[in-house]
Amino acid sequence: MKKIFSKCYLALLMVFFYLPILYTIVFSFNDSKSLTVFKGFSLRWYERMFESRPMMEAIWYTFLIAILATVISTIVGTIAAIGLSGDGSGQQSLYHES
């Protein structure tokens, strides 16, 4: 019973998080301004986005920040992993003495 409840709970969480994303993707191709009635397929909103200089600058800065955050977190995570994998003495040696 507990296993079934866990699976149902997980499924509901997935729907709760991913359904709005799917809805936004589908309606981003809507020909109408309405977000409730799909009137046909169109790339009009993407054309306007790519023609808008402020929007393209925002997208550029978004990608730049994402790349910087990825690089910084990878470096910090690697340093932390190396530090935590030590032998506990506080010092790392380049070779092990037998």
Residue 39 is given by DSSP the state -
Worst-scoring range by mean pLDDT, 32-41, 42-51, 56-65? 32-41
Q: Which pLDDT value is given to residue 31?
A: 87
pLDDT in tens, 83-96: 888 765 555 555 55
Q: Does position 98 have pLDDT exceeding 90, yes or no?
A: no
d(CA 66, CA 60): 10
pLDDT in tens, 4-46: 999 999 999 999 999 999 999 999 999 888 878 888 899 998 9
